[in-house]
Structure 1
Amino acid sequence: MAHEIAVADGGRVRELSAVLARAFHEDPVMAWIFPDSAGRRRALPRLFSVMLRFQHLRHGASEFITPEGGGRIVGGTLWDPPGQWKQPFWRELLALPPYVWASRTGTPRAITVVNAMAAAHPAEPHWYLSIIGTDPDPRFRGTGGGTALLRSRLDRCDRADQPAYLESTNLANVPYYERFGFTVVREITVPKGGPVVAAMWRKPGA
C-alpha cells in the first residue's frame, strides 16, 4: 500500500490520539498502568492527546501516515529533537494537571514508568522516538506504514549524522527495531512489579 506522511498538528490530534490508543491497547506497560481493559480504552486517547499537545507538537517533528490520496490516519510517530526530550520544570508543572486528568487512577503507576525511563535516558544528544504506533485494524496491518514512518525520520538522522533512541515497551517488538539498526543497550525494570522495557540506541547510518 502506498502512503503519505505529514507533520502532526493540532487539527488532527483527536484522530491521531485515537489511532495510537488502539495501537497501544495491548501494550504491556499501558496494561500495567491501566489494568482494567475498559478503563484503558477510555484513558489512552486522553493520554496521547495530552502528550501531543503538551510535549510533542511544539517541536514540529511528529508525523502521521495516511493511505495515498488522504483519508483516515493509520499510524503515527511522536519524536523529540536532540536536547528536547526533557521539558523545562515550568512546562512539567503546566502539563501535570492535564496528565493527572488523563491518567486518573493510573497516575501513580504512570509516574513510576516515566521516572524509571527518565533515569535511564542517555545524555548524548539524539533524536528520541517516544511513541510509534499503527492501527491494529487488519486492513492496515502489514501494509508498511510502520516502516515508512520510521524511515521518514531515520533517513534524516542519517543525513545529519545524528543518533536515535527509543524504549520498546513491548519486548516482542525488539527484533523489529533491530531491523532498522537499533540495538538494546539496557533493560529497564519498572519498579513496584512493573514490566521490563528495552532501551534501544541507533547509530547514524546503522
Structure 2
Amino acid sequence: MRPMAAAELDAACRIVGLAFADNPSNLATVRGDQEKATRAMEQGTRIIKLGSPFSHVLGAEREGRLVGILNAAEWPHCQMKLGEKLRTAPMMIRTIGFNLPRAFKVMSSRAKHEPSKPHWHIGPVAVHPDEQGHGVGSALLRAFLEGVDQQGTPVFLQTDVDRNVVLYQKFGFEIVSRETILDVDTRFMWRAAR
C-alpha cells in the first residue's frame, strides 16, 4: 500500500473502469450498456475523482503492478460544485451521450446525503477484476483507516453493492441512510472517529 504515483493515473482509471463495469448505478445510468459504463467510469474517475487536486489516492501494488486504488477526499471537497459539473459536462456528453441527465441525477441525489461536518469521503475503492477476492480491497481500507484514525476523523461512503455493505460493516461503518436512485438501492455509510 502506498500513495499512487502521478504516472499511474491511466492504469488507475482503467482499474476503476473494469472494477465498476457491472456496478448497478453505473449500469442504470447508461441503461445497461456495460461497455459505456466502463468508459464512463474511466473518464469520470480521471476528471472528477483522481484528477481533482483534493483527491488522496492510495494504491495497492502486487509484483510491481498497480492492482487497486482507494480514493478519498476531505470535507468540504467531497462533492462537485456547479462549476465543476459544467466543466466536466462536455467530456461526459462524449462518453455517455443522452444519459448525462441520469448521471447528474445520481450525483445530485448522492450529494444530498453528504454530511455537512468534517469527515473523509471514500470512493471509489476499486480492485482489478483479476485480483478481486484476494484481500486487496480490505488491505486498502485498513491502510487508509489507520491513517484516518490517527487524525481522529470520521469517514463517509456510499455503496449500492450488497457484498460491499458487509465488507464496510466489518470495518465499523454503519448504514445511516439509503435512497433508491434510478431503481438502485444506494446505502450511505458512516464510520465514527476512532
TM-score greater than 0.5 by the shorter chain: yes
Alignment partner of 1:45 is 2:34? no
2:154 to 142, 147, 163: 163
2:4 to 7, 16, 22: 7
Question: Is the 8 Å Cα contact of residues 46 and 102 (structure 1) preserved in structure 2?
Answer: yes
Q: Secondary structure at the match of 2:56?
A: coil
> What residue number does 1:34 align with?
30
Aligned equivalents of 1:118, 1:60: Cα separation in 2: 17
Aligned equivalents of 1:174, 1:54: Cα separation in 2: 24
Aligned equivalents of 2:45, 2:2: Cα separation in 1: 20
> What residue number does 1:187 align with?
178
User: What whole-Å deviation, never above 9, does each CA across 1:92-138 have from its counterpart, x for those lacking one?
Assistant: 3222222222222331221111111011211111100121111122x
Q: Secondary structure at the match of 1:110?
A: helix
CA separation of 1:81 and 1:8: change in aligned 2, threshold 3 A = farther
Structure 1 residue 22, shift from structure 2 partner: 1.5
Query: Quick check: which one's strand share is greater?
Result: 2
Deviates further, 23-32 or 95-104: 95-104
Letter in 1 for 2:44: V
Q: Which structure 1 segments of 5+ residues have no match?
A: none
TM-score (norm 2): 0.89
- 1:71-150 aligned within 5 A: 71=65, 73-137=66-130, 140-150=131-141
Aligned equivalents of 1:29, 1:74: Cα separation in 2: 23
Letter in 2 for 1:93: L
> What residue number does 2:191 align with?
202
Q: Secondary structure at the match of 1:85?
A: coil
Deviates further, 156-165 or 98-107: 98-107
Aligned equivalents of 1:16, 1:45: Cα separation in 2: 13
Question: Is the 8 Å Cα contact of residues 8 and 63 (structure 1) preserved in structure 2?
Answer: no
Aligned equivalents of 2:37, 2:10: Cα separation in 1: 13
Letter in 1 for 2:22: E
2:163 to 172, 177, 181: 172
Structure 1 residue 152, shift from structure 2 partner: 2.1
User: What whole-Å deviation, never above 9, does each CA across 1:32-53 have from its counterpart, x for those lacking one?
Assistant: 11233xx432442343333333
Aligned equivalents of 1:14, 1:176: Cα separation in 2: 27
Q: Which structure 2 segments of 5+ residues have no match?
A: none
TM-score (norm 1): 0.84
Alignment partner of 1:70 is 2:61? no
Question: Is the 8 Å Cα contact of residues 13 and 49 (structure 1) preserved in structure 2?
Answer: no
Aligned equivalents of 1:108, 1:194: Cα separation in 2: 15
Aligned equivalents of 1:14, 1:107: Cα separation in 2: 23
